[in-house]
Amino acid sequence: MVSKACLVGAYQRKLEEIARHQDVELTVAVPPSWRDERGELLLERAYTTGYDLVVEPIRFNGHFHAHYYPGLGRLISRIRPDLVHIDEEPYNFATAHATWWSLRSGSRTLFFSWQNLNRRYPVPFRWFERYVLGRADYGLVGNQAAYEVWRDKGYTGPMSVIPQFGVDPEIFRPAEQALDSGRGFTIGYVGRFVPEKGVDLLIKTVASLPGAWRLNLAGSGPDQDELKRLVRELGIEERVSFDGQIPSTHMPTYFQQLDVLVLPSRTQPNWMEQFGRVLVEGMACGIAVIGSSSGEIPSVIGDAGLIFQENDVADLRQQLLRLQQRPDLRRELGVRGRERVLERFTQAQIAAQTVAVYREIHPV
């Protein structure tokens, strides 16, 4: 497997679950770090039992479409795998590069995609996409909209909808003790500080809430200074904390301090929410969740949380008020959310579905 996403320690639990299947011998290539609008994410070695985690130097780090692993050909030639799982979008150069080396070694390939908008990419990325789609043995996609996108783009090979990662419910779990009831209603957001995530909308909404409340914001991004300015303008500095990037292995504790987790994503011309993994993590911890109507969010939450119309301050305020005023509803949604995760979104389930695809591609 080639995956920059597996830099994240919590995500490596899926790799351990894949490796538990006795007919799978797994090697995972990751870069030493990845740069994006939040800064530089360094490799977290958290769950590495049962498989080989290999660090491969990366070229054009931070360039989503153009990055690749210059030494990957040597690794593939040495291992000569039956299957190369390329955990990247088919229009990225990394995917085309890994596909070329895989074909040269006689390995079969599959790609992974979250892309839920049918977009036409400029040359050369359109060429990379065409090359990969014409040669991939299988496609994995994280949502039904992505499935439709790749069918519309002409991919005729086998394809399955399987989220990229789940959560380990033994790690992401409810707090053992109830939180102090005198601390006030605690609202949380976890993710990037960029316009499409709607953090500004959340800040404007909480400013009008009555009573005692707090807003905890975990993450970073280019909008951070603007968001802090908005907090100052609204006069709510003492109630809002910017907690920075939280290591993935510390996230369960962070979720457990919340009464509600909000994902206020707003659709853009070139983006809509593809999944919303933080919702699943919060639900696994027994936290009530509120999500916007953008993209895949309603399908992830189901009946285990509340949905508001994206970009609608009044609607989000109404949903927050419901949970602020009704601790019983928070508890009910917390229980429902964890049940939904156990039914659909555990790392073991995602790993088993992925291994079933491996066996379909390369029967033992």
pLDDT by 10s per residue, the chain, length 364: 999 999 999 999 999 999 999 999 999 999 999 999 888 999 999 999 999 999 999 999 999 999 999 999 999 999 999 999 999 999 999 999 999 999 999 999 999 999 999 999 999 999 999 999 999 999 999 999 999 999 999 999 999 999 999 999 999 999 987 666 567 899 999 999 999 999 999 999 999 999 999 999 999 999 999 999 999 999 999 999 999 999 999 999 999 999 999 999 999 999 999 999 999 999 999 999 999 999 999 999 999 999 999 999 999 999 999 999 999 999 999 999 999 999 999 999 999 999 999 999 998 7
pTM across the whole model = 0.93
In which residue ranges of the chain is CATH 3.40.50.2000 found?
5-166+346-361, 181-344
| Topology classification of domain 5-166+346-361 | Rossmann fold (3.40.50)
Pick the CATH number of 181-344 from 3.40.50.2000, 2.60.40.10, 3.90.245.10, 3.30.565.10: 3.40.50.2000
Distance CA 34, CA 189 (A): 22
